[in-house]
């Protein structure tokens, strides 16, 4: 898979997690209850927009989700914001409706806190 190639590339960046803009941030910020709630997503996207390892993070999420699908009991749950992308975007990649490259080229959304989105 294309993201496996990217994964190998991403491993060349030693310890990319140490470069994450969200280091030390409560992980719950990245798991909004409703992935359609822009206000909740914005709390995570604000970190992703200033992060230098969004590609590595996104590829890592795809890889983890791919592995989980093969583990009984864990199922194929795709949740949370990773690499500046929503769970829905990653679901589209897993479904083959969006390529990894297309997903990576999507801009990180900007929501105005307080505005309701669908």
- Kindly tell me which of 82 and 90 has the beta carbon lying closer to ligand SF4: 82
What phi, psi does 18 have (nearest 5°)? -70, -15
* DSSP state letter for 85: B
User: What does the per-residue mask of binding to ligand SF4 show for 56-85, with x meaning CB under 6 A?
Assistant: -x------------------------xxx-
Rounded to whole angstroms, the Cα distance separating 13 from 10 reads 5
Q: Which of 3, 6, 10, 22 binds ligand SF4 (CB under 6 A)?
A: 22
Cβ atoms 26, 43 nearer than 8 A = no
**Total residues contacting ligand SF4 (rule CB under 6 A)?**
13
- Is 30 a binding residue for ligand SF4 by CB under 6 A? The answer is yes
Q: Supply the Cα-derived Rg of the chain in whole angstroms.
A: 14
- Contacts to ligand SF4 by CB under 6 A: 20-22, 30, 47-48, 51, 53-54, 57, 82-84
């Amino acid at each position: 898979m294309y993201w496996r190639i990217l994964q190998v590339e991403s491993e060349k960046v030693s310890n990319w997690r140490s470069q994450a803009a969200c280091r030390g941030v409560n992980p719950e910020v990245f798991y909004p209850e409703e992935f359609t709630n822009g206000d909740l997503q914005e709390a995570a996207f604000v970190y992703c927009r200033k992060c230098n390892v969004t590609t590595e993070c996104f590829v890592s999420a795809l890889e983890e989700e791919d592995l989980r699908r093969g583990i009984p009991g864990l199922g194929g749950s795709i949740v949370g914001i990773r690499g500046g992308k929503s769970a829905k975007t990653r679901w589209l990649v897993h479904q083959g409706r969006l390529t990894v490259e297309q997903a990576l080229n999507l801009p990180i959304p900007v929501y105005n806190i307080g505005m309701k989105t669908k």
